[in-house]
Structures are given as structure tokens and as C-alpha cells.
Structure 1
């Protein structure tokens, strides 16, 4: 097995303790099926060009620079070295600013996952102490560093023999939940409904096992490509039917093995939803 290549190396600073660490990519899309754009008439792969809309001529790579739009078709032009000079200098340091209880970490701010491991034998003891302290305290370490030419915040937590670090979205990048939740009415739920729903959860409890996740899109596309290579007809998947709208209480009872017949013994099945707006 080829050893993983570190994306970044530096130091994790925990109080007055520092240890050398290496950062590795925690997730990658490189294994996904990808397509190229091909000329339907010739079968040749096409290439992308940047065209000046006024001169209608291609713009070579060395003539392309960044531009910040300040008005319609007006830009502040920025050279690559100007951007490089404006970026904070990387001190190769993950400086811990605070410790947050894991139960209070809002995962909506999580961006990309990385793995943190000791870089060399020298810092292994310090790394282990930091890892076990985080695990025992059930907290994550909020740290900051310049990563890949950007100043980033990271949440670092213990995982197995190492640490997992998520880069965090900034507050201005995360949309307010109010945009999605404000129109949801406050409802008073019947006790029986809640008990039935909790029973369903208890009977369906399992363990988080990503190896059992099915990427049905990738599998379907792979089968389609195989069929086309073999000159076979492409299988057309049937569209899923929309679920029927049923009485909520009846559906809950049926889900725990108490269908309409069983539910009707001693207590009638209500046709109403059983939910009332909370006062």
C-alpha cells in the first residue's frame, strides 16, 4: 500500500505544548465516474477556451488575470503576485483558541474533513496526550491556521488513534436556518403519536456504517456505460411513485405492527391528523 501524501505539515499548539503534525485529505471525489465533453459529430474531445467577447479572440493563459467587478463591465484588475502578497503568511501553526463541548458543535458549519496525524516520531507522545485529553473531556479544539493560502478555522476532535479536523465555513457563508424554518407552524403533538414514533426509532436503531451506503447514481451510470460498450440496450429505470397520503395516526400504528384492525380494538382510529397548533 502506498503511503498517503500529506496536504500540509506544521505544528499543533495546545497551551504550551507543540507537536509536529501532518494533515491528510479525509474525503475525495476522484473515484467518482466523470465524463468529458465530446464533439457528437467527430467523437473528438473538445477543449475549453476563454474568448474575449469584444474582440472574439481566444485569450491565452498568460494574459488571463483576476478582476473584481465594481460596475457593469468595469473591473479592478489584480495580478497573481498581488494576491499572493495580500494573503497572510503561513506560520505552519494550528493554534488552538478554545475548546467546545462536542454536543454543542453545530455541524452545519463543517466544510471539508481532514485527518491529523503525528509528523515524525518526535511529537508522538505530545500528540497522544492531546488526543486523549480531547476524548476524555468530550470536547473539540477550535483552531486557526493559514491553509492553502486562506485563513481558516478548524474544529479538531479525537478519532481512533488520530484526530479528525473539519475546516469551518465562516458565519457569512452559512445561510440562516430561519430562511427554511420560519414558516413551519408550532404544533402540539398527541402523547400517543410521540410514543409510537419513539417506538419506531427504538426498533430501527443501528450503527453508523458508511461501507453499507449505496451510491445508486454511480452504480446506475456504470451499468449504463457497460451496456453501451457491449452494444446492449440501456435499461430504463422506472420512476418511483409518490407515496400515498394517509392518516398519520394510522400510519404510525401500522409502522409498529398495529394496523387498522388492531388499532380499532378498544380505541377508534382517528381520521384527523392528531396535531393541533400550539397556543
Structure 2
């Protein structure tokens, strides 16, 4: 059984049950490197130094500071910072139920598995999950997680629930900043038909095992090669080609010869299946 990140109570009105949160996704299995002194081979450690004197500053002499001007700070002592941490009653209190698709994905932060932490909680937990499943609802709850008050989106997931912390509104940037320079264009006719045809030939299902972490696999191969004393040569990177004729590129992608439309009997290029995930070097 994995170790719970948090334990408390799931509460809806007068119903409550003990629950636990478990990390749903982790990067702990990724290859990690240490920073070494090239000359000695020893590990190096980071050290805070005074920006003016260049002298090391020990942990007991370090305090938090909020900059209010150039080199002008409001200093906060550890106990003063601690006073801002909200009190926690370890209760994941559901404030509202919403439609399961009534939220914007940009607000999703980190996802956890939510399950009963005690056998006595199974009946209430199952009742909540089945009620949400039947009504296709998601729940919005509030609790203190890791020293901060967080809003949590709770949804049915198999035999349990998943709880996703949500970004605060001030943390989410406006899409206008990213999309403002995109011109308004009208795509229609053969160009749109070709696009729909290409999408139709590429239909599939998501299988996470088919999508390997190529960088992680390459690192594993690199480490193995170095252990075996092999010489590593940097591969040549091929430059991306420029698309000169969008319509011609669409036709070639769709396997349609010039002059044909997608309403006829078009040639379809075979869809290549994703390569199987590479195994990490042992």
C-alpha cells in the first residue's frame, strides 16, 4: 500500500467519512543526476552567500524578505510566516456539485487518488461516488493542503475518486495574451474537406503504453554506454522543412492526387502504429 500524502475527512452536509489522498503521478522514477566537481569527482553542494560580501550565510541567519523597492525589503521572521498558514481541521468539505464537464482545464493543477482510509468509511464513500457517477457530477471542495487553502475538484474514477487541486484565478493567465496575434480566417471548401479526411484516417484511442519518454530512454542508453566505456557522439539534428504550398501538403498528407476531392474514392495512406515503449536500461 502506498503512503498517503494526506489523511482527513470527506464531508458533505452531515455525511462524513475518513479518506486519504495518494499521489496519482510522480516523476520520482526519472533518471536523476548529481552535480560533481569535474576535477575531483566529488559531489558539490549549494550554499547561500551574501550578495554584497560574498560570505556564506548559515541557515539560522536566513530570513524571508519581500521586495518593496530596489534593495529594500520587508523582513519576515519564521514564526511570522507561520502565522499566515491557515488552520486545518483535516476536513475536505464539499461546497458544491457541478456538471462533470463544467470546468476549464487550465485551472487543473495536481491530481491525487482519493479513497477510504478506514473500512468503516466504505459505505458512505461508495454512496458519494455512486451518487456523483449517476448524476454525472463533480464536487468542489475546500481544505488546507500542504500549508495552503486549496480548492479541490473531485470526480468519480473507477472504484474510487480522483481529487485535483485547482489553480487560483490569479495564477491562470488570460488566453488573449497567447491568441491575440492569431488572425481571423475562414477555412472552407476543399481545404477543410482535406483536413477532415486526414483527421478521419488518423482516428485511434489513447494507450499510454504506446507513448514512451524518448528523452528518458535516451538517457538510460547514454548512461549504459558510458558504463561500458563506449564513446558518445552527438547526433546530427535534421532541420525542419518549410511548407511552401499548404494545399499541396494537405493533398499529399491525405493521399489525394491533384484535382480529386475527398468525396470520391481517395487513396488512404496506411496509419503507422506508435512504436512500443522502450525499456529502460537495467
- Same fold? TM cut 0.5: yes
Which residue is 1:250 aligned to? Answer: 248
Q: Name the SS of the counterpart of 1:40 in structure 2.
A: coil
Q: Following superposition of structure 1 onto structure 2, how do residues 17-32 of structure 1 map, counting pairs within 5 Å?
A: 17-32=15-30
Which structure 2 residue ranges, 5 or more long, are not aligned?
Answer: 265-282
C-alpha distance in structure 2 between counterparts of 1:110 and 1:69, whole Å: 30
SS in 2 for 1:96: strand
Say yes or no: does 1:169 pair with 2:167: yes
Further displaced range: 45-54 or 168-177? 45-54
Distance in structure 2 (CA, Å) of the matches to 1:248 and 1:9: 55
Q: Output the TM-score relative to the length of structure 1.
A: 0.87
Q: State the SS of the aligned residue for 1:103.
A: coil
Q: Deviations over 1:104-129 (max 9, x none)?
A: 22111111111100111111111111
Q: Is 1:159 the equivalent of 2:172?
A: no
Q: The residue matched to 1:132 in structure 2 has which SS?
A: helix
Q: Corresponding residue for 1:277?
A: none
Q: Output the CA distance in 2 between the equivalents of 1:260 and 1:162.
A: 53
Q: Report the 3-state secondary structure (helix = DSSP H, G, I; strand = E; otherwise coil) of the residue aligned with 1:21.
A: strand
1:217-236 Cα offsets, whole Å, 9 max, x none, are 11112211221221112143
Moved more, 41-50 or 185-194: 185-194
> Cα RMSD (Å) of the superposition?
2.1
Which of 225, 228, 235 in structure 2 is aligned with 1:227? 225
Deviation at 1:261, TM superposition (A): 6.8
Which residue among 81, 89, 92 is the counterpart of 2:90? 92
Q: 1:54 aligns with which of 52, 55, 61?
A: 52
SS class of match (1:228): helix
Q: CA deviation at 1:186?
A: 1.2
1:216 to 208, 214, 218: 214
Q: How does 1:178-197 map to 2 (within 5 A)?
A: 178-197=176-195
* Alpha-carbon distance, 1:215 to partner: 0.8
Q: State the distance in 2 between where 1:229 and 1:28 align.
A: 27
Name the CA shift for 1:227/1:261 in 2 (closer, same or farther; >3 Å).
Answer: farther
For structure 1, the 5+ residue unaligned runs are 267-279
Displaced runs of 4 or more, over 3 A: 261-264
Call closer, same or farther: CA 1:238–1:138 in 2, change over 3 Å: farther
| Counterpart in the other structure of 2:267 | none
Could you give the per-residue CA deviations for residues 57-103 of structure 1, whole angstroms, max 9, x where no partner exists?
21111222211122222222222222222211011111112222222
SS of aligned partner of 2:75: strand
Distance 1:210 1:52, change over 3 A: same
1:253/1:263 contact within 8 Å kept: no
Structural mapping, 1:54-93, within 5 Å: 54-93=52-91
Partner SS state of residue 132, structure 2: helix
Compute the TM-score of the two structures, normalised by the length of structure 2: 0.87
Instruction: Give deviations 1:185-231, integer Å, cap 9, x for gaps.
Output: 11111133323322322322222222222111111122112212211
Question: Kindly tell me: are residues 220 and 184 of structure 1, through their superposed partners in 2, closer, same or farther at Cα, counting changes over 3 Å?
Answer: same
CA distance in 1, matches of 2:194, 2:212: 29
2: CA distance, partners of 1:191 / 1:124:
56
Aligned residue number for residue 141 of structure 2:
143
Aligned length: 264
Q: Distance in 2 between matches of 1:238 and 1:12?
A: 55
